[in-house]
């Protein structure tokens, strides 16, 4: 079969013929790939950012945002059958160790078994995973339409779920950056909260996308975005600001956007902060200037700048939403995917 393989860091991956994977263990699942998203993390893997801390044997097939159809199963697999459409979680955890039993799969006792990073991924016709890492898709949903949710969707869903308790009727939420994560975030916020959603982006096409997926208001990101948000909210500001950019042009501080109510306004960063994104190393800090604002920023200090006391290794495992209508994704080949800290550290 054909596969896109990384042979050496800092070099383009190559398309080549490789043997087809087989279901050798009782819980193995071989998936015929129907969709594979290109994530920014794939570029970081290519550039060797994870190499000092994550042992990887090259060559390796890239791709961790995968979906498709079950091609072959092991003797003990019960949750899927051959032919089922599935989406695949990138971490292939054991499910029985203490960490897995409490949903802390990234600390699995078996170690990191991350598709496309430590194991061959989905930039191929077939790839091997496990029954614990596959989730059946609703009937009629095409795998190619939801493949990015295997990473980008999990990241967004995690961040939105943290914000849900703050977003009751009459509240407002600002979504900064309507890209690969942000446009999914708008849909999740509309599905899970009663808040008024305000989308901010510098790209007119992104603002059109935000309107199309449910944003109540769109604001161009220029020198006057804060004033426009204040005007839309009657001068009150928003209860929650979710930043899906977190790099490049500096944004106004949280106090400029948020409503002046004690401990009700959050500034949540869900994307890379200028360092390589990491699924386990983030940190939490409180704004000293505005102590009522809690700031979640992705430290992503990989590997040498990781905070010495940061022990966050949790992934958004098993948190894939299963609403009647899945959020759509425009990330056919987006490079905007990254990780958020599931523990808010």
8 and 134: one domain?
Answer: yes
Cα distance between residue 217 and residue 316, in whole Å: 29
What does the CA dihedral 163, 169, 171, 177 come to, rounded to 10 degrees? 60
Residue 333 resides in a domain: no
pLDDT at position 108, please?
93
127 and 253: one domain?
Answer: no
Between these two residues, 246 and 209, which has the higher pLDDT value? 209
130 and 234: one domain?
Answer: no
Residue 314 resides in a domain: no
Q: At residue 192, does pLDDT exceed 80?
A: yes
What does the CA dihedral 89, 9, 280, 321 come to, rounded to 10 degrees? -20
Cα distance between residue 296 and residue 304, in whole Å: 20
Work out the angle at residue 247's Cα, subtended by the Cα atoms of residues 241 and 249, and round it to the nearest 5 degrees. Answer: 90
Residue 101 resides in a domain: yes
12 and 105: one domain?
Answer: yes
pTM over 0.85: no
Range of the domain at 251: 153-297
Q: At residue 23, does pLDDT exceed 70?
A: yes
pLDDT at position 260, please?
65
The band of 261, judged by pLDDT with boundaries at 50, 70 and 90, is: low
16 and 66: one domain?
Answer: yes
141 and 200: one domain?
Answer: no
130 and 166: one domain?
Answer: no
172 and 285: one domain?
Answer: yes
Query: Smallest Cα–Cα separation from 255: which of 218, 285, 232, 288?
Result: 288
65 and 89: one domain?
Answer: yes
Residue 247 resides in a domain: yes
pLDDT digits (tens, 9 = 90+) for 118-155: 999 999 999 999 999 999 999 999 999 999 999 989 88
Residue 319 resides in a domain: no
10 and 35: one domain?
Answer: yes
- Arithmetic mean of pLDDT over the chain: 78
pLDDT at position 35, please?
96
pLDDT at position 191, please?
96
100 and 189: one domain?
Answer: no
Residue 310 CA, chain-centre distance (Å), reads 20
CATH number for 194: 3.40.50.720
Q: What percent of the chain is predicted at pLDDT more than 70?
A: 72
pLDDT digits (tens, 9 = 90+) for 36-75: 999 988 999 999 999 998 888 999 999 999 999 999 999 9
237 and 139: one domain?
Answer: no
156 three-state secondary structure: helix
Residue 231 to residues 204, 224, 234, 244, Cα–Cα distance (Å): 20, 11, 5, 22
CATH number for 73: 3.90.180.10
Of the residues 106, 123, 150, which one is the last residue of a structural domain? 150
Q: What percent of the chain is predicted at pLDDT more than 90?
A: 56
Cα distance between residue 103 and residue 153, in whole Å: 18
Q: At residue 335, does pLDDT exceed 80?
A: no
- Cα atoms found within 13 Å of the Cα of residue 143, Cβ hemisphere only: 23
Helix (H) or strand (E) holding 199: strand 196-201
pLDDT at position 223, please?
82
The total number of structural domains that make up the chain: 2
Residue 295 CA, chain-centre distance (Å), reads 19
Residue 224 resides in a domain: yes
Of the residues 150, 172, 193, which one is the last residue of a structural domain? 150
Place of tokens 């948190």: 319
Residue 304 resides in a domain: no
Residue 171 resides in a domain: yes
Q: At residue 319, does pLDDT exceed 60?
A: no
The band of 255, judged by pLDDT with boundaries at 50, 70 and 90, is: low
Of the residues 128, 150, 172, which one is the last residue of a structural domain? 150
């Amino acid at each position: 079969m054909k596969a896109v393989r990384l042979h050496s860091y800092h070099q383009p991956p190559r398309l080549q013929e490789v043997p087809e994977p087989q279901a050798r263990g009782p819980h193995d699942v071989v998936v015929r790939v129907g969709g594979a998203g290109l994530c920014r993390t794939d570029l970081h893997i290519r550039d060797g950012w994870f190499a000092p801390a994550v042992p990887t044997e090259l060559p390796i097939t890239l791709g961790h945002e995968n979906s498709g159809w079950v091609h072959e199963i092991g003797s003990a697999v019960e949750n899927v059958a051959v032919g089922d459409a599935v989406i695949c979680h990138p971490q292939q955890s054991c499910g029985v160790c203490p960490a897995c039993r409490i949903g802390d799969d990234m600390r699995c006792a078996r170690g990191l078994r991350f598709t496309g990073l430590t194991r061959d991924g989905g930039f191929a016709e077939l790839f091997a995973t496990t029954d614990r890492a596959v989730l059946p898709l609703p009937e009629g949903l095409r795998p190619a339409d939801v493949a990015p949710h295997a990473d980008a969707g999990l990241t967004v869903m995690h961040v939105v779920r943290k914000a849900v308790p703050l977003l009751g009727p009459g509240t407002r939420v600002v979504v900064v950056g309507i890209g690969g994560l942000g446009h999914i975030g708008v849909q999740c916020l509309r599905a899970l909260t009663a808040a008024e959603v305000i989308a901010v982006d510098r790209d007119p096409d992104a603002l059109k996308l935000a309107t199309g997926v449910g944003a109540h208001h769109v604001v161009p990101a220029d020198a006057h975005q804060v004033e426009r948000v204040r005007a839309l909210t009657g001068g009150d500001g928003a209860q929650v600001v979710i930043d899906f950019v977190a790099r490049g042009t500096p944004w106004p501080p949280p106090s400029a956007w948020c409503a002046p109510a004690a401990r009700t306004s959050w500034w949540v960063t869900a994307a890379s902060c200028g360092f390589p994104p990491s699924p386990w190393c983030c940190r939490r800090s409180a704004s000293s200037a505005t102590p009522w604002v809690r700031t979640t920023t992705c430290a992503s200090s990989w590997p040498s700048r990781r905070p010495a006391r940061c022990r966050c290794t949790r992934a958004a495992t098993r948190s894939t939403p299963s609403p009647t209508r899945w959020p759509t994704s425009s990330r056919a080949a987006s490079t905007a995917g990254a990780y958020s800290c599931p523990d808010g550290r």
